[in-house]
C-alpha cells in the first residue's frame, strides 16, 4: 500500500475477507487470461507433436470454469465484507453502487459477460453454432473490461509485482490476438487492419490512463472511495 500520510488500518474480522477479495481478484485475472490464451491458441489451430489440439480445448474449458469459480469467490467475499457496503446486485448490475462505482461497474459487466460465455458454452449443442459464436465473440470485451476493472479498483495496482503480472497478462493476450488477426489477413484485409489499429490504440490509451489514473496520486479519492471507506479497508492509494 502507498499513501502520503499515516494510514489507520482497522483490524477486524472483516479484514481477511477484504484480503481474500484482492487475492481472488488476481487469481481470477490470471485464470481468465489463461482461458483467453487457450481460446486464442485453439482458434489459430495451434498444435504440436507433444501438444495435440484436444489439450488446448480441454485447458480452455477448465480454465474458464476455474476463472468463474474464483470470480464467484471474489464476488462473495466482496459482498460478505461489511465495512464497505457492496450489495449482491452491484455484482450484476453495473454502475449502481457507491464504492468506486465506475470501476466496480466494469467488474459487473465482465462478470455478466463471463456468465453468458460459460452458460452458452454449456448449452452449445442446443443453441446452434451461429448464435453460440456470436456470444463467444464477447470474450474479446470481457477480458479487457475485467483487466481495466482490476487496475481501476485494485488496492494493489501500484505494487510492482502486481503491475508486472498484469502487464504479462496483457502482453500474452495482445500478441496472440495479433497473431489471430494476422492469420485472417488473406480473407479480410480491411477488418484485420482495423483490428490491428484498435489493439494498438487500446494498449497506448490503456498505458496513458494507467499513468494519469491508478498510478497517480489521489486515485483512491478520484476513483470514488469515501474517506471512511479508505480507512476501514486499507484501500489507500
Residues that bind ligand HEM (CB under 6 A): 21-22, 25-26, 28-29, 32, 71, 74-75, 78, 86, 90-91, 104, 107-108, 110-111, 114, 146, 149-150, 153-157, 162, 235
Q: Is the dihedral of CA 11, 16, 17, 21 positive or negative?
A: positive
Closest approach of ligand HEM to the CB of residue 63, in Å: 12
Q: Hunting for cell 459464436 — which residue is that?
A: 133
Instruction: Say if residues 176 and 41 touch (Cβ distance below 8 Å).
Output: yes
Q: Which residue, 44 or 73, is less far from ligand HEM as judged by CB? A: 73
Q: How far is the CB of 166 from ligand HEM (least distance, A)?
A: 7
CB of 80 to ligand HEM, least distance (A): 10
What does the block give as the cell for 225?
Answer: 472511495
Nearer Cβ to ligand HEM (24/177): 24
Tell me the C-alpha to C-alpha distance, in Å, between residue 107 and each of 9, 42, 169, 201.
25, 26, 17, 22
Coil/strand/helix, residue 226: coil
Nearest residue (CB) to ligand HEM, 56 versus 71: 71
CB of 121 to ligand HEM, least distance (A): 15
The smaller minimum CB distance to ligand HEM, of residues 44 and 59, is found at 59
Task: Report CA dihedral (34, 37, 41, 47) to the nearest 10 degrees.
Answer: -40
Q: Which residue is nearest to ligand HEM (CB)?
A: 154
Q: Which is nearer to ligand HEM, 19 or 179 (CB)?
A: 19
- Find all residues with CB under 8 Å of 35, minimum gap 6, and list them: 60, 63, 64, 67
What is the closest distance, in whole angstroms, from the C-beta atom of residue 68 to ligand HEM in the complex? 8
- Tell the smallest beta-carbon distance from residue 183 to ligand HEM (Å): 27
Using alpha carbons, select from 139, 185, 143, 188 the residue that is nearest to residue 166. 143
CB nearer to ligand HEM: pick between 125 and 137: 137
Helix/strand/coil for 51: strand
Q: Considering only CA atoms, which of 150, 114, 140 is closest in space to residue 36?
A: 140
Amino acid at each position: 500500500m502507498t499513501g502520503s500520510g499515516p494510514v489507520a488500518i482497522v483490524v477486524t474480522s472483516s479484514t481477511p475477507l477484504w484480503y481474500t477479495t484482492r487475492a481472488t481478484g488476481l487469481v481470477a485475472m490470471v485464470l481468465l487470461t489463461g482461458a483467453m490464451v487457450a481460446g486464442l491458441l485453439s482458434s489459430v489451430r495451434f498444435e504440436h507433436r507433444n501438444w495435440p489440439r484436444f489439450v488446448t480445448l480441454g485447458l480452455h474449458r477448465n480454465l474458464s470454469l476455474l476463472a468463474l469459480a474464483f470470480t464467484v469467490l471474489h464476488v462473495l467475499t466482496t459482498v460478505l465484507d461489511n465495512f464497505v457496503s457492496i450489495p449482491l446486485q452491484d455484482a450484476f448490475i453495473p454502475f449502481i453502487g457507491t464504492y468506486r462505482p465506475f470501476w466496480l461497474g466494469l467488474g459487473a459487466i465482465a462478470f455478466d459477460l463471463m456468465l453468458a460465455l460459460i452458460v452458452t458454452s454449456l448449452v452449445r449443442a442446443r443453441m446452434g453454432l451461429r448464435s453460440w459464436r456470436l456470444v463467444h465473440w464477447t470474450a474479446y470485451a470481457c477480458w479487457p473490461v475485467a483487466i481495466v476493472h482490476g487496475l481501476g479498483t485494485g488496492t494493489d495496482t501500484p505494487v510492482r509485482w502486481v503491475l508486472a503480472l498484469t502487464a504479462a497478462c496483457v502482453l500474452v493476450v495482445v500478441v496472440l490476438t495479433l497473431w489471430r488477426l494476422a492469420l485472417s489477413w488473406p480473407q479480410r484485409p480491411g477488418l484485420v487492419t482495423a483490428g490491428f489499429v484498435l489493439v494498438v490504440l487500446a494498449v497506448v490509451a490503456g498505458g496513458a490512463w494507467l499513468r494519469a489514473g491508478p498510478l497517480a496520486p489521489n486515485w483512491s479519492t478520484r476513483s470514488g472511495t469515501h474517506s471512511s471507506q479508505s480507512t476501514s479497508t486499507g484501500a489507500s492509494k
